[in-house]
Amino acid sequence: MIEISSLIDELEDSISNGTEQRRLVALRRVSDMFVAGSSRYTSEQIDLFDDVLLRLANHIEREARVRLSHSLASMHNAPPKVVRSLAFDDAIEVAAPVLTNSPQLSDDDLVANARTKSQGHLLAISQRSTLSEAVTDVLVDRGDTGVVRSVAENSGARFSYNGFGRLVERSQGDEILAETVGARADLPRHHFLKLLESASAVVRSRLVASNPQAAALIRDTVAEISGHISREVRNASPEHAQAKKAAKKRYKIRQPTEGDVHMRAHAQDFEKTVVALALFGRLPIDLVERALLDERPDMVLILAKAAGCSRTTTKAILLMQAAGRGMSDADMEQALASFDRLSTKTAKRVLEFYDRRKAHSQLIPEIAGEEMLAEAVA
């Protein structure tokens, strides 16, 4: 600490009166001293180094800050204020080493950086060994194509529900991203199905090639996109299997009620809502699943009315995030007004009509959409 104190005196003089060369010499001496003894320094000593290095970093040229960033990037106890200062440096050559590697940057630091700095900064963040949902939400929303592709390739990145939805949206028209997202083992099944629906034949073939074990499931799903959701894909889903097992146990004693449907929908539990509504309304599970994934509300209104659901439960289903409807208050009121006008008898007649058409032409649920609903409530 005596040696550090003498360096502080030298630092003051070099900053006030010294040349660039003197400042670089002081920086090298302080950083070398820290690296050499970092494992045994107390928190107070690290704070002192932090203050010294921060002052020096603010008075040296970019090339010297680049070297400092590289030297501190992987140290678990690097001076935190200096690391943060380097991370927010406008020069990406300075910021990148610590943004990609430093364990001293918190999620709050990374989120703030991703929200305000350049695409180069976002790209550096996307390459960290682990990334939380809070950070990837910003990267997927604000990042350019290179950033989004990079974070999608990162096996250590974790994505929120909305984050996966945005990844699927941004995959439209981007075959490289679609292939990368489709190959992620943690991609929720309903997002995977949406991705397949918009993916090109080339992307589908690459997904088969990159994941031979899922090849049959992918082929089945693609083949049935023109008809209904693949039973094989659904049955292979751990989430669906768990929901189905829980439902069998729950409803072995009693019949499912509308309350079961409302509770699952309100909780945003896609798999359990599908199972509960199918059992409650005695509806084909593939048709229910397809309707809940459809951005348009029409088939949900028909199925809910045919099942005997109330306006409140129907609204809860329409508000589920799985379809990404993003309905405004006006849209919701218009949809519920249609639901009010629709009779149960008519809704069931629409489903009968759908079954007859499907038997002959493998009609997809969307066809039983706006036109059928308009006729039903007219």
For residue 131, the SS3 value is strand
Q: Report pLDDT for 6.
A: 60
Q: What are phi and psi of 201, to 5 degrees?
A: -60, -35
pLDDT beneath 50, residues of the chain: 2, 217, 220-234, 236, 360-378
Tokens of 187: 């991609």
Q: Report pLDDT for 47.
A: 72
140 vs 198: CA distance, rounded Å: 19
Closest by Cα among 55, 97, 94 to 74:
97
- CA angle at residue 112 from 110 to 114, to 5 degrees? 65
Q: Which amino acid is at 345?
A: K
What's the farthest any 2 CA atoms get from each other in the chain?
A: 90
Determine how many CB atoms are found less than 10 A away from the CB of residue 291. Answer: 26
Quick one: how far is CA 228 from the chain centroid?
26
Tokens of 72: 């501190």
Torsion of CA 217, 218, 221, 223, to 10 degrees: -110
Q: Report pLDDT for 377.
A: 46
Q: Report pLDDT for 362.
A: 43
Provide the CB-side half-sphere exposure for 199 (13 A, CA): 31
Closest by Cα among 88, 90, 89, 68 to 79:
68
> What residue ranges do the domains of the chain occupy?
1-103, 243-377
27 vs 328: CA distance, rounded Å: 57
Tokens of 315: 């609204």
> The tokens 């008075």 sit on which residue?
59
Q: Report pLDDT for 163.
A: 95
Tallying the residues shown for the chain, one arrives at 378
- CA angle at residue 131 from 128 to 136, to 5 degrees? 110
pLDDT in tens, 197-239: 777 777 777 776 666 555 554 554 444 443 333 444 445 455 5
Q: Report pLDDT for 291.
A: 87
343 vs 346: CA distance, rounded Å: 5
